[in-house]
Structure 1
Amino acid sequence: MTHVWFIGFLSTFAGIGVGGVIAGLINGFKKSIGTIYAVCTGLILGLISFEIAPEAIQLGNWLIFLLGFLAGVFIFKLIHMRVHKNSVITKASHKHQNRRLGLFLALIISIHNLPMGVVLGASEQSQLSIALLQALILHNIPEGMILFTPLFIAGPSIFMLFFLSIFVAVPIALGALVGEMMGMQNNLLWAFLISLTVGTIYMVTIKEILTESIRQSSNIYSLLVALIGFCLMGAYLFYY
């Protein structure tokens, strides 16, 4: 498959963009920010449980996954302490909190996309490459929803949304170029990196998104809506 890095970039950009459009429509008809955040919580946990984590385990093994996951949790705690150091969340700063969460999610998704791109590039000459391209488009739709929901709430410019879509898609292209050159000799390394992003995304989901949902509504309501989102994501990934 020629120019797999470019096709991967376009697939990711398209998936993120479609997810962003859906997030914008949902945000336009929102009745509760807490509900939207609870849905996002379920979608993310479903995505990492049914798609990303099994992918990491398949590339490596359970031990590599556990080590990478714990490393991701540790990195999140370091970043979290740095970002929230001396910050006071008030109604006036709530908009900035949502923008910061959106940018943080963009960074985490970008880190996750790099090893994904490597796997795509390394499998260029196989049927796996076509399957991965399809998966990129489909699983980036909910990622786009997750990424842009807090940003739409914060009210960023169209330019920022376009820039972040490119920012998230570029690591796929870079990873594919690296994968073409290196091949799949480093499965354990890529499995570790993917597992690391799973740990980081998990902590962002629980500490940032679910916590905000509970703050806006209640424990039982947020967990129930998150469970529905989790099941919907599982069904979506199972049937695509």
Structure 2
Amino acid sequence: MNNEIWICAAGLGLSSLLGSALGALIKNIPHKWNDIFLGYCGGMMLAASIVCLIIPSVEMLDGVSLWQALLGVIAGVAIISMLDHFTPHLHRLSGLEDMEHHSTKSANRVLLFVMAIAIHKFPEGVATGISFDGGDSTGSYSLAIAIALQNIPEGMVVVTPLILVGIKGLRVLLVSLSVALLETVGVIAGYMLGEISSMLLPFLLATAGGAMLYVISDEMIPETHAHGFEKLATYALIAGVMTMLAIEKFAE
């Protein structure tokens, strides 16, 4: 395995951790700004799920094979829907008290959201690894730089909501490292598996996109519209969509 792969894998992981470090600077903020921030994050993830995951999946397939993308989206929704069933029991992992209160409910939503982000990191890394396997290093580096830029705000998206609901520093650090490691492993797997990865990639990308769409619609938007700041959260969501589109455009 050449040095380019190791550099790329490490770079993507470190860019995610950089975003997490920036997100860790945010401590306690009023509910109004919490809803605005989560709305903005939701907008970024909404754009990423469609532009960075589902559309590329569709573009990799011909007309006869489009069912793979549809099946992938359905699989992503099903996976997170099943996880949603179990998240009421996951607040113990966050270190919060075992009781029904707003913080625990918010933690369940945040944990589900973080899971969706983590799920999409692996196929994103696989896509980068496959590009290096094809031999076009210039295009591969361009793709890696685009993903690294995207990883910084995504790293913030992972960490900040966890901190805001009261999850302690060590657990937040472990979550950040796990999410970054998933993408790093994905890069190496995509490069090593080569042709097998390229065949599975459309399905994996669509699965990740479907998972993120479910969480945004079922958890993030309702949460940001539950405290009287829904218009501000909506404006923030639109701003988040435009931010992610701008990142994608300028990283091409």
Q: Under a length normalisation based on structure 1, what TM-score does the superposition of the two structures give?
A: 0.83
Task: Give the 5 Å matches for 1:10-159.
Answer: 10-25=10-25, 31-61=32-62, 62-84=66-88, 93-124=101-132, 125-127=135-137, 128-159=139-170
**Contact map agreement 1:4 1:121 (CA 8 A) in 2:** no
**Contact map agreement 2:159 2:176 (CA 8 A) in 1:** no
**Contact map agreement 1:95 1:153 (CA 8 A) in 2:** no
Q: What SS class does the counterpart of residue 12 from structure 1 fall into?
A: helix
Unaligned runs of 5+ residues in structure 1 are none
The alpha-carbon distance between structure 1 residues 6 and 170, as it changes in their structure 2 partners (threshold 3 A), is farther
Q: What is the identity, as a one-letter code, of the residue corresponding to 2:247? A: Y
**Contact map agreement 1:60 1:187 (CA 8 A) in 2:** no
Q: 2 CA distance for matches of 1:172 and 1:221?
A: 33
Q: Percent identity?
A: 24
**Aligned mate of 1:183, from 194, 197, 209:** 194
**Contact map agreement 2:57 2:206 (CA 8 A) in 1:** yes
Range with bigger deviation, 130-139 or 28-37? 28-37
**Contact map agreement 2:123 2:205 (CA 8 A) in 1:** yes
What is the Cα-based RMSD across aligned positions, in Å? 2.7
The alpha-carbon distance between structure 1 residues 201 and 215, as it changes in their structure 2 partners (threshold 3 A), is same
Q: Under a length normalisation based on structure 2, what TM-score does the superposition of the two structures give?
A: 0.80
Q: What SS class does the counterpart of residue 60 from structure 1 fall into?
A: coil
Q: What SS class does the counterpart of residue 216 from structure 1 fall into?
A: coil
Alignment coverage as a number of residue pairs: 236
**Dislocated runs of 4+, deviation >4 Å:** 25-31
CA-to-aligned-CA distance 1:78-124 (integer Å, 9 cap, x gap): 22123248x9xxx9633233433343333333322222222222332
Range with bigger deviation, 192-201 or 29-38? 29-38
Q: What SS class does the counterpart of residue 19 from structure 1 fall into?
A: helix
